[in-house]
Amino acid sequence: MHKRIFSMLLVMILAFSSVQIEAAGLVNDMMTDLSREAQHFYDTQVAMANMTVSRPAEDAYVVAYVDQSGKTLTTQLCRTDWGTWNLGDMKLYDGYTEKTVISGATDWEYVFRVYNPISQALEFMGGNHGSERLNSIVFKEGVTGETFSLEVGESRYVARLVVEENTTIHIPKVDYLDFANVKRVYTIVGGTVNLDCEVSFIRDIKMSLSYTAMAPVNKDFSRYCFLGNEGYVITEAKGAASKKYLGNMPVTFCRLSGDDPSASVEVGIYNEKDMTDNFSNRDKTFIWDMSEEFNKVYFSKYDMSNLTKITAGTVWDFGTYWKVKIQ
């Protein structure tokens, strides 16, 4: 990948050297791609942190990281009623109070709105919306590659946690109408969570409004929202909600902060082609002032204006990161 990008960069510089302004713009785009690749490689293959992973209950793993200030950040993986493991709460403990930064009560991962041939209606499937079957899951110490499992009450040290999960999404209540296999790879290091997904379609389907990444962030840490370098929105304060969708801009990341200065959040994606259809729909990337407690970031692939056919054999590559910076 890196060789291909560098080769393309060199060709562009040579080919457009006589048109310096246009060449500069193209080079900047390529450097942005290189920066993303480098960030992803560092976060998933190089970064390490002193962490403890524990299993406080049968349906939960918790990763705990203590930063230099002594504050503790925890990230949950929770087993759903239908068997898959999804991201749960991310919480900050400063020695006095525990604060939920990102909530597991609603989606972090993808969700697809698919035409159901049984009900003849469009329905949300996958992620926190169910209709997804667990095929396998493996927990790894990401630095050594050692696989492990924990009994309830057990814990262990990890420098980088990698969780590899394989699932199948199907039409609701009809297991034999499978339409996509998903390989999820979670990488957790300190306050950073990466999720890389390969979505392989095994049946033709029709899809509309769909989201490939989300972030339900406590308003204490998300009221002030920078949408990439394109714009800035402010939501209602905690205790109120406008219920409005704000921003709708073609950006690959959002930086969020709030009235509580103890933490800030950045959420972003790596592959806008597969994750947003190159921002071709009207929703793009937006903030939903969803409740009195939380704002939610969405990266949108399709909106409700069209029904798109996805053919068997199609493969999508998703890459999402969530970063909590402790102040």
208-230 average pLDDT score: 96
> For residue range 13-65, what is the model confidence (pLDDT) as tens digits?
333 333 332 333 433 444 466 788 899 999 999 999 999 999 999 999 999 99
> For residue range 124-148, what is the model confidence (pLDDT) as tens digits?
999 889 999 999 999 999 999 999 9
Measured on CA atoms in the order 210, 214, 220, 226, is the torsion positive or negative?
negative
DSSP class of residue 151?
-
Domain layout of the chain by residue ranges:
2-44, 49-326
Three-class HEC string of 243-297: CCEEEEECCCEEEEECCCCCEEEEEEECCHHHHHCCCCCCCCEEEECCCCCEEEE
Q: What is the mean pLDDT of the chain?
A: 90
pLDDT at 5 over 80: no
Distance CA 299, CA 101 (A): 19
Contact 88, 77 (CB under 8 A): yes
Amino acid 289: pLDDT: 97
Strands (E), 153-228: 155-158, 161-170, 178-189, 192-201, 205-207, 210-218, 224-227
> For residue range 75-115, what is the model confidence (pLDDT) as tens digits?
999 999 999 999 999 999 988 899 999 999 999 999 999 99
Burial of 164 (0-12, 13-18, 19+ CB in 10 A): middle
Amino acid 232: pLDDT: 94
Cα–Cα separations (whole angstroms), residue 146 to 33, 116, 140, 151: 31, 41, 5, 17
The helix/strand/coil state of 227 is: strand
DSSP β-bridge partners for residue 324: 265
Q: Angle at CA 326, nearest 5°, toward 325 and 327?
A: 110
Amino acid 173: pLDDT: 85
Angle at which helix 2-15 crosses helix 20-41, to 10 degrees, equals: 170
The helix/strand/coil state of 26 is: helix
183-187 average pLDDT score: 98
Amino acid 19: pLDDT: 32
Write down the pTM of the prediction. Answer: 0.89
1 closest CA partner among 38, 56, 48: 38
CATH class label, 49-326 = mainly beta
pLDDT band at 74 (very low <50, low <70, confident <90, very high): very high
Cα–Cα separations (whole angstroms), residue 174 to 128, 136, 160, 287, 318: 18, 20, 37, 33, 26
Amino acid 33: pLDDT: 66
120 closest CA partner among 171, 178, 179: 171
Distance CA 228, CA 286 (A): 11
pLDDT band at 167 (very low <50, low <70, confident <90, very high): very high
